[in-house]
Amino acid sequence: MGEFELIRQYFQPLADNARQGQLILGPGDDCAIQRVPPGQDLVFSVDTLVEGVHFPPNYPPEYLGWRSLAVAVSDLAAMGADPVCFTLALSLPCAEPEWLAGYSRGLARASDAFGITLAGGDTTRGPLTLTLQVHGTVPKGMALRRSGACVGDLVCVTGPLGDAGAALDFLGSPDPTGNEQAVLARYHYPEPRLALGKALVGKASAAIDISDGLLSDLQHILDASEVGAELDADKVPLSKALVALKGREALTCALTAGDDYQLCVTIADEQLALMDLHVREQLITIGRIQAKPGLNVANTAQIGSRQGFDHFRRSD
Ligand code: ADP
Ligand code: MG
C-alpha cells in the first residue's frame, strides 16, 4: 500500500467531519488552514510517543489511537483551551492494514469524544513513533498557566490518582481481575479534563495536567510561580481498585506515578466558593500554596525520594 492510499483509507475519513468554522482546510494540500476568531488566542502543543518508551511493544493499536490523542489534548485541557484540530506525524515500520484499522478506529473515537478534527500530517517509514500536534483556542489573554499560583491558594486535583501507574503491572495480564481491569481502563482510555479546564478559565490561578506524577508536576507550578506548597497526603484521592491492588503502596503510586491526566490546579478560596456546585464537586483540595519554598507532604511516612518520571534525571 502506498503512502497516499494509506492516508486516503485510514486517515482521510477522520477529517471528513471537519468542524465548520475554524478549520478552513484539512488534509490534502501543502498546509492546513485554521482561522482563529477575533478575541481568541491560538494555543498549541506537540507530543511524541515512541514504542518501547511511552507505550509497550505490541500495544493494541485501538488503545494507542485513543491514548495518543488523549495525552496531547490533555495539554489543551490544562490551559483551559477549546480543542479545534490536530496533525499526526506517523512513523511506521510497515503498512499493516490490521494495525492501521485499529489505530484509526481508536483515533476516530477520541477525536469525536474531544471535539477535535484531523487537519493533516506526515507519514514515513521508521520505528513506530507518533507525533501529534494539537491546536485549540482560548479567550484572549485567558489561558491557564503554571505561573499564577499565589500564597494562600488551595491546591486541588480533579480525580483519583495512581491508577494508570498501577496498571503498568498488568498490561500483559491474560485474564485481569475486576480491580485490574478498572486500573487498566484508566491507562488505556485517559479522559482529558476539557470541560473542567474551560470552567476554570478566569478562576484558577494556575494549572497543569498530571502526566509525570503529582509531586513532579506540582513542582513545575511551584517553580514557575516562585512559591512552595504543603500537601496533606490523607486528602489525595485514591480509587478503591488502587487501594485493593496496592495496599500501603497506593499513596506512593498516587503521588509519583504518571499517566492519569487529571489536572492539578491552584485557586483562591473565594474563587472556589463562587464556582458552580458541579464544578466544585470535581475539585478535591489536597493542600495550600505557601511562601516557604519547596513541597511538604504531611501525613506520610512512606514516600521515598522518587518524585515522578523525569526523562533526564532518572535515577531508578
Ligand atoms: P508535503 O510533501 O507537501 O509535505 P505530504 O506528501 O507529506 O505533503 O502530505 C500530503 C497531504 O497528506 C498533506 O495535506 C498532509 O497533511 C496529508 N497527510 C500526510 N500524512 C497524513 C496523516 N498521517 N494523516 C492525515 N493527513 C496526512
Ligand atoms: Mg508540500
Render pLDDT for 77-94 as a digit per residue (tens, 0 to 9). Answer: 999 999 999 999 999 999
* 119 CA → ligand 1 middle, Å: 9
Closest to 47 (Cα-Cα) out of 12, 66, 77, 75: 75
82 lies in the same domain as 128: yes
135 lies in the same domain as 257: no
Give domain status of residue 311, yes or no.
no
Question: Per the structure, how many domains does the chain have?
Answer: 2
Q: Of the residues 75, 110, 139, which one is the last residue of a structural domain?
A: 139
Q: Name 16's Cβ contacts closer than 8 Å, sequence gap at least 6.
A: none
- Give me the CATH number covering residue 187: 3.90.650.10
225 lies in the same domain as 173: yes
* pLDDT of amino acid 308: 38
167 lies in the same domain as 276: yes
Dist CA 241 CA 244 (whole Å): 5
* pLDDT of amino acid 299: 84
* 291 CA → ligand 2 middle, Å: 52
* pLDDT of amino acid 313: 40
Closest to 80 (Cα-Cα) out of 158, 165, 13, 143: 143
Cα dihedral: 249, 279, 264, 19 (round 10): 120
Q: Which atom of ligand 1 is nearest to the CA of 90?
A: 23
Give domain status of residue 260, yes or no.
yes
* 10 CA → ligand 1 middle, Å: 13
* 28 CA → ligand 2 middle, Å: 9
Give domain status of residue 147, yes or no.
no
* pLDDT of amino acid 301: 59
DSSP 226: T
292 lies in the same domain as 158: yes
* pLDDT of amino acid 305: 39
Ligand nearest, relative to CA of residue 27: 1
C-alpha distances out from residue 160 to 174, 202, 283, Å: 26, 25, 11
122 lies in the same domain as 205: no
Question: For the chain, where are the E strands, in sequence order?
Answer: 23-25, 33-34, 40-50, 82-92, 117-125, 129-139, 154-157, 206-209, 228-232, 263-267, 284-290, 294-298
* pLDDT of amino acid 302: 55
Residue 191's SS3 state is: coil
Shortest-distance Cα residue to atom 9 of ligand 1: 122
* 25 CA → ligand 2 middle, Å: 14
Give domain status of residue 238, yes or no.
yes
Residues having C-beta closer than 5 Å to ion ligand 2: 30
The stretches in the chain having pLDDT less than 70 are 17-20, 301-316
126 lies in the same domain as 163: no
Q: Which atom of ligand 1 is nearest to the CA of 28?
A: 14
Residue 129's SS3 state is: strand
Q: Of the residues 114, 139, 164, which one is the last residue of a structural domain?
A: 139
Residue that the C-alpha cell 509531586 belongs to: 215
* pLDDT of amino acid 258: 87
Residue-range definition of the domain harbouring residue 123:
3-139
Pocket lined around ligand 1, Cβ cut-off 6 Å: 7, 11, 27-30, 88, 90, 118, 120-123
Q: Which atom of ligand 1 is nearest to the CA of 118?
A: 25
128 lies in the same domain as 170: no
Q: Which atom of ligand 1 is nearest to the CA of 27?
A: 14
The x, y and z cell numbers of residue 267, run together, are 485557586
* 31 CA → ligand 2 middle, Å: 7
The helix (run of H) or strand (run of E) holding residue 254 is helix 250-256
- Give me the CATH number covering residue 40: 3.30.1330.10
Ligand nearest, relative to CA of residue 119: 1
